[in-house]
Amino acid sequence: MALKIVKGSIDRMFDKNLQDLVRGIRNHKEDEAKYISTCIDEIKQELKQDNIAVKANAVCKLTYLQMLGYDVSWAAFNIVEVMSSSKFTYKRIGYLAASQCFHESTDVIMLTTNQIRKDLSSPNQYDTGVALTGLSCFVTPDLARDLANDIMTLMSHTKPYIRKKAVLIMYKVFLKYPESLRPAFPRLKEKLEDPDPGVQSAAVNVICELARRNPKNYLSLAPLFFKLMTSSTNNWVLIKIIKLFGALTPLEPRLGKKLIEPLTNLIHSTSAMSLLYECVNTVIAVLISLSSGMPNHSASIQLCVQKLRILIEDSDQNLKYLGLLAMSKILKTHPKSVQSHKDLILQCLDDKDESIRLRALDLLYGMVSKKNLMEIVKKLMLHVDKAEGTTYRDELLTKIIDICSQSNYQYITNFEWYISILVELTRLEGTRHGHLIASQMLDVAIRVKAIRIFAVAQMATLLDNAHLLTGNMQRNGICEVLYAAAWICGEFSEHLENPMQTLEAMLRPKVATLPGHIQAVYVQNAAKLFATVLKSQEGNTEGTPAQETSQLMVERLPLFVQSANLEVQERASCILQLVKYIQKLQQKDVEVAEEVSALFAGELNPVAPKAQKKVPVPEGLDLDAWINEPPSESESEDEQPKAIFTREEPKHSRPRHTEVDEKELAKRREVRKQEQANNPFYIKASPSSQKVYQETHGVEHIPVVQIDLSVPLKVPGLPMSDQYVKLEEERRQKDRADKKKKKKEKRKDKRTGRGKRHDSGPESEEDITPAHMVDIVTEEMPENALPSDDDDKDPNDPHKALDIDLDKPLADSEKLPVRSHRAAEALKSPGEDGDAVSAATLEPRKKRSKEKREEKKKDKDGDRKKSKEEKKKKKHKHEEKEENLLSGQADEPVVQSEESSQVAAPPTSTSAEVSDLDFWLSNAPVPSNTQEAATVAAAAEAASVPEAVSGTAPDSEPEEPKDAEMEETKSSKHKKKKQKKEKEEKEKKKKKKHHHHHRHSDAGGEESVQNGTVEEEEPLPSMSNYCLLAENSYIKMVYDIQGNLQDGSQVVVSVIFENKCDSFLKSMEFNVLDSLNSKLQRPEGSGPHDGLTVPFQLPPGVSNEARFVFTMQSIVMPQKLKGTLTFIVKNDDSSTHEKLDFKLHFTCTSYLISTPCYSDAFAKLLESGDLKSSSIKLEAVLMPFHHLLARICFHHHFSVVERIDSCASMYSRTIQGHHVCLLVKTADQTVSIDAKCDEPTLLGNVLDEIKQTFSQC
């Protein structure tokens, strides 16, 4: 034996070990790939040997190769072998390899379950440790489920080394197997007070991580954490806890108030910068949550800002960065206190570190004022010139625009300056933000009347020098600016000094190289300019220059007519014809200028972005109704799944946009009015734009109902803005003299085009709203509608599953799965014990701290000694609260959060702690309990049972009444809960009914297939022919195959792709390995192995259907085709190629097409004698006969010819014209099917498939 070992190790000498491999790779820099492939071959050889040492060595090398980016998943099984070695050395290698390359889709993982379990219970703590470490990297839902209990046991292992690992890995288990959270939680909580600091910190770590995702479930732990925070000295733990509090405070403002003091103390006392920083951060979070006016906190703000200033002034760049980061958080709520540090922040702008500069830029936003805006922007402009990286420059550019345009150009005193800044910015090379500049130009030019002359002049220059911008414009977006320039010059052409020159500039041949949408604007505005030019030239009475201008247009426009861009082409040819016509008129010496310019007359008003929403839906218009019923293919087939979705989805989305209730809107309007009143640049102030509205005698006088629209609005296909425009048009038309009627048509077009682009001012909205507001129907939200933030959550987020109420008592069903031979009790009791223990350990400490605090607070709380007084206070507070409630929604979040914390507290032993939380927090001025609490307080006084045990509230003086109070709240909560449950149940029932109804209708559809008598029969269960094709974590494919009647050799495969992940799926390619008999039809010119591109991309959660045509030679046999789907998974910032293999199963059924057949024709067919017959018997078919028929019809594409009692004849035809006839009889759960067909093989297969269908159900 020993000899064998020695021999083995001698063999080993000649193998490469990891070091040799590394050395080898380093020596083969040039042909690394080749060298590695030979190494992999060697490794494969080594893996084949029996010697575990050799294998381990090979696996070790593979681990290294994996890190270099080689796929080693082929060796997964060998890794498992090495993992199961009894020697720690090899085991460790195996687990390391596994942790590096196993993941959820590794199939050998399930083989490891028992091995891991064995290792976990190994007497050697390092075996256990290494297994835990490995498991933490590759735990799967299955493993988590199977091993949860073992890990739970390890959490109370005697060795702290194992305990801390077990505690930490529980987080991973929770993620994969959320059901384990509740049973394991009591023990986890217990570990918060583990004597070993490592275990304690691990527990803190896990709970912080859990709480970060679903903070509200962990509010009840706040007192415990608070105690840890005040007692712990481990900075790492402190940081975690403080971060956790940062997440909790937004939910519970009272908590924040409690925290401020200890946090400030920490800030003053700690020397660790990291701790200091986190404290400041949490204080900021607290302040934000309290931002509703707590004047006495200005001291803490000052403290924070001061400390941050120290950080920023520090020479350590890291501190500087973090300081700025935190500063920007303060900026949101307390801009004033930050403003005083402007000097410092400006200084940071000059820092050589880009990250720091970016942070400083963020802060600048809040620093500007009317006085210093120009100065700051000037500085930024300097930076723009100096900046080397494009990203930073782009960032600067957006920031400049942001700063200038913030709160409606509040700080801009000189718009000429702003325009010239914008023009200067256009000289930036390679920026991506051309459209941003463009929209700013348009916005300013439209909204600030006084600036138009200046703007037009500037834009004309820009157009003149367009070639400067066009240098490398195709690549970057700066040419977007020309879009704005052209439009401004055209629209406000009356301000142009030299319109002719601009017109020429716009018609230069080089323009044709611009992107299409810009060209379109060029063409349109050239026409506008042309009108202006004509007007000025005709004034001179000499016809020639005017004619020359027309000539110029006629010469240049054909260039655009040839454009590949449809929009350009269309506009250009329209205008070209117009100009030609004008030319004709000119030759006859007719004055045309007036009429031409009338085409473009009319003032443009900016349309508010929200205006669209305000348009009421006219009575009788159902936006959810189909215009045309969706085409249903062959009645019964895939209509079912579709119909369900299309009908329901609109209902979901509908309430969303009506969410804003009237009150809110009214409030917003008020605010807006205020804003407008204060805004000097608001166009409404300028006389001309008001003119239009002055004519209307108060829009309010026109009730919407009376508007009879010339165009009926029942055109759901029309975009909403059109409706709005029409409405507006209509309204104005009424009040205006009808002299302008002629122009209307033209203007309307123009408006719809532009309104969308220049939606900037709230101005017109103001005018609209009074008329429309009245009509907005506030749709009631469904009763149990949650605040919308729940909707934002990503359904795929693994953390969502962990949103579990931890305070509910454990139900019996909630045990962790235990291997059968183990006693299930062993599990149940530790959970309960844990609770008891934690409570017990809690008490003494809490008491101590309570006493201390009491002493401290005595003088403060002197007036609260008597519970009567307390009660009064409460009542008073309660009244206050009611007032608050009435006064507005601002307070609502607070109330909600309280409610939620209460709801989270059901009546159990654990719930005591939740209520404790309320006590614990109750010294804060916000009342903690609702009415019951207050009223019961008196009764409680009498009953007062001194339950000092549960009086864990460290600093609430009158304990007894509160305990009773707590009980009362408990019971009331209980009631609430019950009610809720009942409600839920009712709703469920309703849903069920609804569902039932649905099915019924489906069944109705099904029954109509039968030619025979229609009876009142049981509804059919819903059916679908779509079956699963393949699935992985990204995508799911289901498919259905149908024959193509038109072409006897084709079948159509409809595949529904469903994106299951939260990334974007694109570039999907569908490919199938053709067989001799069946081929995927590919577009001409592509090779026989090319894939077909799926013609769509899939955003997260979306599914879409694609169809692929296959050509078949013979259809008598079923067959399977192998195929692959490749696609790219695109995240925000990365994309990966993925593929999914599948097998397409062409059953013979899929070649059948349900064809109606009359009974006499059917009889003839049977008599003809050309058909071969065959038959099958189905035993024990329990379903009603009509279900059976419906199933055959649905799944196998037959149609019923005739049905008499328990006997029916059915018919179908293949795509190649084979007839298939069935005679179905039923008696005593036995169904016999006699079939005839002209192709025996086919018939046999079809019958087999039918048999299979029924064996499945």
Partner 1 sequence: MSKFYEHYSEDTEQQIIRETFHLVSKRDENVCNFLEGGLLIGGSDYKLIYRHYATLYFVFCVDSSESELGILDLIQVFVETLDKCFENVCELDLIFHVDKVHNILAEMVMGGMVLETNMNEIIMQVDAQNKMEKSEAGIAGAPARAVSAVKNMNLPEMPRNINIGDISIKVPNLPSFK
Euclidean distance between CA atoms 694 and 687, whole angstroms: 10
The number of beta carbons lying within 10 Å of the beta carbon of residue 386 is 11
Residue 74 binds partner 1, judged by CB under 8 A: no
Residue 70 binds partner 1, judged by CB under 8 A: yes
Position among 131, 322, 552, 937 found at the interface with partner 1 (CB under 8 A)? 322
Interface mask toward partner 1 for 242-271; x: CB under 8 A? -x----------------------------
Map the footprint of partner 1 across residues 20-59, applying CB under 8 A.
Answer: 20, 22-23, 26-27, 53
Q: What phi and psi values does residue 120 have, to the nearest 5 degrees? A: -65, -35
Task: Using the minimum distance from each CB to partner 1, give the nearer residue, 307 or 772.
Answer: 307
Contact window for partner 1 (CB under 8 A) among 60-68, 290-298, 883-891, 1078-1086: 60-68
The residues, any chain, with a CB within 8 Å of residue 601's CB and separated by 6 or more, are: 743, 747
Segment 15-18 long-range contacts (CB within 8 Å, at least 24 positions apart): 15/42, 15/46, 15/54, 15/57, 15/58, 16/42, 16/61, 17/57, 17/60, 17/61, 18/57, 18/60, 18/61, 18/64
Interface mask toward partner 1 for 102-131; x: CB under 8 A? -xx-------------------x-x--xx-
Euclidean distance between CA atoms 1033 and 1058, whole angstroms: 11
Euclidean distance between CA atoms 575 and 570, whole angstroms: 9
CB of 195 to partner 1, least distance (A): 15
Amino acid (1-letter code) at residue 1129: V
Position among 34, 48, 87, 989 found at the interface with partner 1 (CB under 8 A)? 87
Residue spans of alpha helices (H) in 1097-1225: 1159-1167, 1185-1196
Interface mask toward partner 1 for 340-379; x: CB under 8 A? ------------xxxxx-----------------------
What is the residue whose two structure tokens read 């004519």?
695
User: Environment class of residue 1053 by beta-carbon count within 10 Å: exposed (0-12), middle (13-18) or buried (19+)?
Assistant: buried
Q: What phi and psi values does residue 590 have, to the nearest 5 degrees? A: -95, 140
Task: Using the minimum distance from each CB to partner 1, give the nearer residue, 206 or 459.
Answer: 206
Residue 1079 binds partner 1, judged by CB under 8 A: no
What is the residue whose two structure tokens read 């702690």?
913
Euclidean distance between CA atoms 707 and 730, whole angstroms: 8
Position among 37, 45, 89, 121 found at the interface with partner 1 (CB under 8 A)? 89
Residue 161 binds partner 1, judged by CB under 8 A: yes
Position among 92, 874, 962, 970 found at the interface with partner 1 (CB under 8 A)? 92
Map the footprint of partner 1 across residues 782-811, applying CB under 8 A.
Answer: 799
User: Environment class of residue 712 by beta-carbon count within 10 Å: exposed (0-12), middle (13-18) or buried (19+)?
Assistant: exposed
Q: How far apart are the first and last CA of the chain?
A: 59
CB of 102 to partner 1, least distance (A): 8
Amino acid (1-letter code) at residue 806: L
Position among 63, 458, 549, 640 found at the interface with partner 1 (CB under 8 A)? 63
Map the footprint of partner 1 across residues 204-243, applying CB under 8 A.
Answer: 205-206, 208-209, 212, 235-236, 239, 243
CB of 675 to partner 1, least distance (A): 31
Interface mask toward partner 1 for 904-923; x: CB under 8 A? --------------------
Residue 393 binds partner 1, judged by CB under 8 A: no
Residue spans of alpha helices (H) in 249-294: 253-269, 273-289
Report which of 1140, 1008, 1133 is spatially closest to residue 1070, judged by C-alpha positions.
1140
Position among 58, 60, 143, 839 found at the interface with partner 1 (CB under 8 A)? 60
Map the footprint of partner 1 across residues 818-837, applying CB under 8 A.
Answer: none
Task: Using the minimum distance from each CB to partner 1, give the nearer residue, 651 or 1137.
Answer: 1137
Contact 1148, 1242 (CB under 8 A): yes
Residue 171 binds partner 1, judged by CB under 8 A: yes
CB of 230 to partner 1, least distance (A): 19
Task: Using the minimum distance from each CB to partner 1, give the nearer residue, 466 or 1035.
Answer: 1035
What is the residue whose two structure tokens read 């709801």?
903
Euclidean distance between CA atoms 919 and 952, whole angstroms: 8
Q: Any bridge partners for residue 302, and if so which? A: none
Report which of 573, 463, 477 is spatially closest to residue 522, judged by C-alpha positions.
463
Task: Using the minimum distance from each CB to partner 1, give the nearer residue, 128 or 597.
Answer: 128
Euclidean distance between CA atoms 918 and 902, whole angstroms: 9
Residue 165 binds partner 1, judged by CB under 8 A: yes
User: Environment class of residue 343 by beta-carbon count within 10 Å: exposed (0-12), middle (13-18) or buried (19+)?
Assistant: exposed
Position among 79, 80, 96, 521 found at the interface with partner 1 (CB under 8 A)? 96
* Distance, C-alpha 810 to centroid of its chain: 33
Position among 44, 198, 873, 1019 found at the interface with partner 1 (CB under 8 A)? 198
Contact window for partner 1 (CB under 8 A) among 91-99, 550-558, 1016-1024, 1146-1154: 91-99
Residue 93 binds partner 1, judged by CB under 8 A: yes
Calculate the alpha carbon distances from 394 to 365, 380, 385, 443, 925 in Å.
16, 12, 12, 20, 48
Map the footprint of partner 1 across residues 1014-1073, applying CB under 8 A.
Answer: none
Element (H, E) at 1055: strand 1050-1059
Residue 133 binds partner 1, judged by CB under 8 A: yes
Map the footprint of partner 1 across residues 1209-1228, applying CB under 8 A.
Answer: none
Interface mask toward partner 1 for 619-648; x: CB under 8 A? ------------------------------
Position among 17, 230, 547, 1067 found at the interface with partner 1 (CB under 8 A)? 17
What is the residue whose two structure tokens read 């949490």?
282
Give me Rg for the CA atoms of the chain: 39
Side-chain half-sphere exposure of 759, counting CA atoms within 13 A: 14
CB of 198 to partner 1, least distance (A): 6
Residue 164 binds partner 1, judged by CB under 8 A: yes
Position among 18, 621, 773, 1052 found at the interface with partner 1 (CB under 8 A)? 18
Task: Using the minimum distance from each CB to partner 1, give the nearer residue, 351 or 464.
Answer: 351
The count of residues in the chain is: 1257
Map the footprint of partner 1 across residues 1110-1139, applying CB under 8 A.
Answer: 1131-1134, 1136-1138
Interface mask toward partner 1 for 273-312; x: CB under 8 A? xx--xx----------------------------------
CB of 797 to partner 1, least distance (A): 10
Report which of 374, 372, 394 is spatially closest to residue 384, judged by C-alpha positions.
394
Position among 108, 111, 137, 685 found at the interface with partner 1 (CB under 8 A)? 137
Euclidean distance between CA atoms 191 and 186, whole angstroms: 9
Task: Using the minimum distance from each CB to partner 1, give the nearer residue, 316 or 548.
Answer: 316
Contact 513, 565 (CB under 8 A): no
Task: Using the minimum distance from each CB to partner 1, give the nearer residue, 208 or 529.
Answer: 208
Task: Using the minimum distance from each CB to partner 1, give the nearer residue, 239 or 1192.
Answer: 239
Task: Using the minimum distance from each CB to partner 1, give the nearer residue, 23 or 865.
Answer: 23
CB of 1098 to partner 1, least distance (A): 19
Coil, helix or strand for 294? coil
Instruction: Kindly determine how many residues on this chain lie close enough to bind partner 1 according to the rule CB under 8 A.
Output: 87
CB of 169 to partner 1, least distance (A): 6
Map the footprint of partner 1 across residues 962-1021, applying CB under 8 A.
Answer: none
Euclidean distance between CA atoms 1179 and 964, whole angstroms: 67
Euclidean distance between CA atoms 714 and 859, whole angstroms: 73
Task: Using the minimum distance from each CB to partner 1, give the nearer residue, 355 or 1022.
Answer: 355
